[in-house]
Amino acid sequence: MENHTFLDKLLLKVLKIPGALMIVPLFLGVMVNTLAPDILNIGSFTTALFKNGLAVLIGLFFLAVGSQISFKSALPSVEKGFVLLISKFGIAVVFGLSVAFFTPEGMLFGLLPLAIIAAMSNSNGSLFVALTSQFGNKTDKGAISILSINDGPFLTMVALGVAGLAAFPLLALFSAVFPMIFGFILGNSSTIAKKFLEPGEKLIIPFAAFTIGAGINLEVLLGQGSIGILLGIAAAVISGGAAIAALYIWHVIRRHPKQCRNLVSAASEASVAGNAIATPAIVASLDPNYLTIQGAATSQIAAAVVTTAFILPFFVAWLATWQKQRGITPENEEAFYEEAQTRKAP
């Protein structure tokens, strides 16, 4: 620490904030846009990077994310990943579309269906890996290879398009997800390409976040954004509850012994990802009808990201203790799979 500069020490403190890599640059962008909006319009590379560069930055981010998705995982990890992915996306669509079609003005306490689906269908991969590394086992952590599919706006756009709430031309939809597909092909075809693109997952996030914030006014963030705390709680309780129930049912169907029915990975999935903040901007770029609510939806999701980042570690720690008191541990589950592999071996 003695070799750290003042800025180093400040950054180390800032990075302790949940979702700091996305939240802090977003807030800085909001403040600049609110207090001195003309600064970012001086032209050339400054405007291109900090004001108008969102499309390029998000495209590069999806390329990097796609390159890290791998299907070369053990069967239990793959199965867990699909169970959690489908349950989380399913409950997000049901809840979000129910709000859109069955509530007055298509909102619930001010929560927008776009924000609900984008927040609840996505998850914080870094937080998932951190929590499953501490409280879970290898199969829990390995599920991220499948759960990475929910990174970005693709699932949200599918839900909105199928429900008729947005008009996405097929080519426009494909063009939005092609960078991730291309990254997936590169990452699974070359370990060198995968390693080269890996830093992009973190490197691009703060720049994209600042650009998103540069399109939001502080009044919108404080007004519409405050209801995002409720969205964060709903995401943790509803999507987390659905994931836990689905994973438990999977354990039962697979006839796993009771002491092996570990639910840590499901609880760790009950978060909102920082990159979900970019979804409203991407949706609005493809369907201009969403431009009027882009700022409000972005603010709601941003608040939800922080909320789940704060409450989820406590919940996962409690669940791990609750399981252990009943003789259910990640170690028991992992030992069961290893014994099964041994029995299959010739």
Contact (CB, 8 A) for 49 and 207: yes
- With a cut of 80, say whether residue 19 has pLDDT above it: no
pLDDT confidence of 196, banded at 50, 70, 90?
Answer: very high
- With a cut of 60, say whether residue 71 has pLDDT above it: no
- With a cut of 80, say whether residue 256 has pLDDT above it: yes
Report the b/e string of 18-32 with b at 16+ CB within 10 A: bbbbbbbbbbebbeb
Give the whole-number percent of the chain exceeding pLDDT 70: 79
When pLDDT is averaged across residues 140-166 and rounded to a whole number, the result is: 68
Q: What is the mean pLDDT of the chain?
A: 78
By CB atoms closer than 10 A (0-12, 13-18, 19+), residue 6 is exposed
Across the strands, what pairs with 108? Answer: 111
pLDDT confidence of 138, banded at 50, 70, 90?
Answer: confident
pLDDT tens track for 322-332: 988 888 887 88
When pLDDT is averaged across residues 274-293 and rounded to a whole number, the result is: 77
When pLDDT is averaged across residues 143-164 and rounded to a whole number, the result is: 68
With a CB cutoff of 8 Å and minimum separation 6, the contacts of 184 are: 66, 67, 69
Cα–Cα distance measured from residue 70 to residue 63, given in angstroms and rounded to the nearest whole number? 14
**What pTM was computed for the model?**
0.65
DSSP 108: B
When pLDDT is averaged across residues 116-120 and rounded to a whole number, the result is: 82
When pLDDT is averaged across residues 195-216 and rounded to a whole number, the result is: 80
Confidence at residue 249, expressed as pLDDT on a 0 to 100 scale: 92
Helix 20-35 to helix 294-325 angle, to the nearest 10 degrees?
Answer: 160
DSSP 214: T
Residue 98's Cβ-side half-sphere holds a number of Cα atoms within 13 Å equal to 6
pLDDT confidence of 69, banded at 50, 70, 90?
Answer: low
pLDDT tens track for 306-320: 777 777 778 888 888
pLDDT confidence of 181, banded at 50, 70, 90?
Answer: confident
pLDDT confidence of 51, banded at 50, 70, 90?
Answer: confident
> Residue 113 carries which side chain, given as an amino acid letter?
P
Cα–Cα distance measured from residue 93 to residue 74, given in angstroms and rounded to the nearest whole number? 29
Cα–Cα distance measured from residue 261 to residue 333, given in angstroms and rounded to the nearest whole number? 7
Report the b/e string of 179-197 with b at 16+ CB within 10 A: bbeebbebbbeeeeebeeb
Confidence at residue 17, expressed as pLDDT on a 0 to 100 scale: 66
Strand ranges for 172-281 from DSSP E = none
pLDDT confidence of 192, banded at 50, 70, 90?
Answer: very high
111 three-state secondary structure: strand
Closest CA to 218 of 299, 304, 306: 299
The Cα angle at residue 168 between residues 162 and 169, in degrees rounded to 5: 115
Cα–Cα distance measured from residue 302 to residue 28, given in angstroms and rounded to the nearest whole number? 13
Of 309 and 321, the one with more pLDDT: 321
- With a cut of 80, say whether residue 210 has pLDDT above it: yes
Contact (CB, 8 A) for 140 and 262: yes
**Minimum mean pLDDT range among 6-15, 32-41, 54-63, 241-250:** 54-63
